[in-house]
Amino acid sequence: MTYYKILVNKDTRIEELYYENIVKPSLVPVETFKNNDMLYNIFHVEDKTTYLEKTTANKFNLLRNYAKGNNVILGITSGFLTFEQQMFKYEYFVRKRGKEFAEKSACFPGYSEHNTGLALDCDIFKNNKWGGIALDSEGNINSETAWLHTVLHKFGFILRYPKGKENITKMKFEPWHIRYVGEDVSKFIYEKRITLEEYCKLESNI
């Protein structure tokens, strides 16, 4: 059974058996509404299909419909990545931006949430192009992105690497990376303004 609260970060890798026996069989194809050439060029994904864990895919579709009703058009940049694709991603960032940048933004195989099928990088279509969720030159987000961050929890998602929590997540602020944890946990995390790391620590102390 899928464990929606699973913690995967730079210190905690996904177990090989969990990856093979739980993650891989639970994947379903999901429509991205974006051109996925980046997946092909960087991650060597031959068929360009994006996959997510089944419930995560369903909930994202609900979130996307809800956003659409509020004039925010969502797409997916990147969903599940295999260990092999994760390695391509890491090496790509090392080549393009250097080792330090790669360490901060692309994890090794097994240490990335993209290997769980529960996480995705989303995007917003604005002014006739994708890229609406990216940080501006001053490191700020636009109003659509800010709005999105206030509704994620209603669909079981959390903003996984929020601003101001970099010392805990060990990741820079990523307004696009969202993670499915289930509605109970997402609401708790949102209301308490904590991270998944802090949630897991609290839970282990109960």
User: In the set 15, 103, 121, 197, which binds Zn ion (CB under 5 A)?
Assistant: 121
Give the three-state DSSP class for 78: strand
Residue 129 C-beta: closest distance to Zn ion, Å: 20
Under the binding rule (CB under 5 A), the answer on residue 104 touching Zn ion is no
* From 4-12, 16-24, 175-183, 195-203, span contacting Zn ion (CB under 5 A): 175-183
Amino acid at 142: N
149 residue type, one letter? H
Q: Tokens at residue 41, please? A: 């060029």
Q: Is 160 in the site for Zn ion (CB under 5 A)?
A: no
Residue located via tokens 């464990």: 3
Q: Which tokens belong to 205?
A: 């102390």
Nearest position to Zn ion, beta carbon: 177
Six token digits for residue 168: 């805990």
Minimal CA–CA distance to 175: which of 122, 125, 117? 122
Which window, 123-131, 137-145, 171-179, 197-205, contacts Zn ion (CB under 5 A)? Answer: 171-179
Segment (H or E) for 23: none
Given candidates 177, 179, 189, 194, which one binds Zn ion under the rule CB under 5 A? 177
- Say if CB 140 and CB 150 are below 8 A apart: no
Residue with smaller CB distance to Zn ion, 159 or 185? 159
Report d(CA 24, CA 20) in Å as an integer. 6
Scanning 3-11, 26-34, 116-124, 144-152 for contacts with Zn ion by CB under 5 A, the matching segment is 116-124
Query: Minimum distance from CB of 114 to Zn ion (Å)?
Result: 6
Catalytic residues: 174
φ, ψ for residue 56 (rounded to 5)? -60, -45
Query: Given the complex with Zn ion, which of 89 and 153 has the nearer CB atom?
Result: 89
Residue ranges in contact with Zn ion by CB under 5 A: 121, 177
